[in-house]
Amino acid sequence: MLKRSIFIGNKAKITTQYEQLIIQTEQKKGNIPIEDLGFIIIENQQTYVSVPALNKLIANNVSVVFCNEKHMPVSMLLNLDGHHIQQEIFSLQIKASEPLKKQLWQQTVKKKIEHQGALLDKLEKTGHPLDFYASKVLSGDTTNREAMAAAYYWKHLFEFPFVRERNGDFPNLFLNYGYTILRAAVARALSGSGLLNTLGIHHRNKYNAYALADDIMEPFRPLVDAKVLNLILSSNVRELTPDIKAALINITTETVYFEDFKSPLMVGLQRVASSLQQCLAGKRRKINYPSLWN
């Protein structure tokens, strides 16, 4: 089931009653069944959220994303008890061998580079080396093909000089916002499969509570890049307006393609997370990453 995403940009009071989320602003009051929600993004700094509302959102595996005073997402709440064999799955993550994690990272980097190449192909920027780079990714990406691919990709993606920066201005601002939404979507799917986002297969920063989400989101980044490209071509806006944010939030409804079916990204991520869980349990060898374009 495709879940709804709610953006709170104005001052609001958020409470709950009878499994409904009650959202009251100065202009109106409405309610939404909590079971229909996948994300709620709270941007306005004066928004009040009751603890019972937060508890019900988390119990239903709704990802609650909070923004800072600059209107950028900075934190999120996720369910830490989202699976009936939670402790067993945590144990599998902790005991995962280094060779296994390196093989899973190899698959992840290879798929990311393939998707970057597919986007350049869609833009008719053929003759690139990304397919070659993808074919040469080793276990653990020890030769750093990810960085080689990124250097070429960012140089040729846009029709203007561009430097990818985490805290840069346009269009980095658009990209960063989209990546944050993508990260929340991946984290939600992982949590729902009983996986602990803190335990990554590659990312290991001790200050990073979402290392696993940062790993698994990598192959999906080109989906955000494509959305940002479309926004640039369809609008002259260079600021992160509410309309731009709404378009980026809707990245979770983009279609992805598995071998046997297609689905919205939000639904597809659940299949990806489940396959990762099975890899850690020794039941399969590959993460079931979809293609981003048919």
Of 47, 77, 107, the residue that ends a domain is 77
In-domain check, residue 293: no
Does residue 64 share a domain with residue 200?
A: no
Does residue 106 share a domain with residue 46?
A: no
Does residue 96 share a domain with residue 14?
A: no
Q: Give pLDDT tens digits for 237-256.
A: 889 998 999 999 999 999 99
The total number of residues written for the chain in this structure: 294
pLDDT of residue 75: 86
Does residue 187 share a domain with residue 263?
A: yes
* CA separation for the pair 175, 32 (Å, rounded): 29
CA angle 110, 119, 225 (to 5 degrees): 95
With a cut of 60, say whether residue 82 has pLDDT above it: no
In-domain check, residue 290: no
Q: Is the dihedral of CA 6, 9, 213, 120 positive or negative?
A: positive
Host domain of residue 42:
4-77
Does residue 265 share a domain with residue 186?
A: yes
What residue has token string 């900075």? 74
* CA separation for the pair 122, 103 (Å, rounded): 29
With a cut of 60, say whether residue 83 has pLDDT above it: no
CATH number, domain with residue 133: 1.20.120.920
Q: Give pLDDT tens digits for 14-41.
A: 999 999 999 999 989 999 999 999 889 9
- What is the total count of domains within the chain? 2
Does residue 155 share a domain with residue 267?
A: yes
Q: Is the dihedral of CA 177, 271, 292, 264 positive or negative?
A: negative
CATH number, domain with residue 14: 3.100.10.20
Average pLDDT over residues 117-126: 96
Of 77, 100, 116, the residue that ends a domain is 77
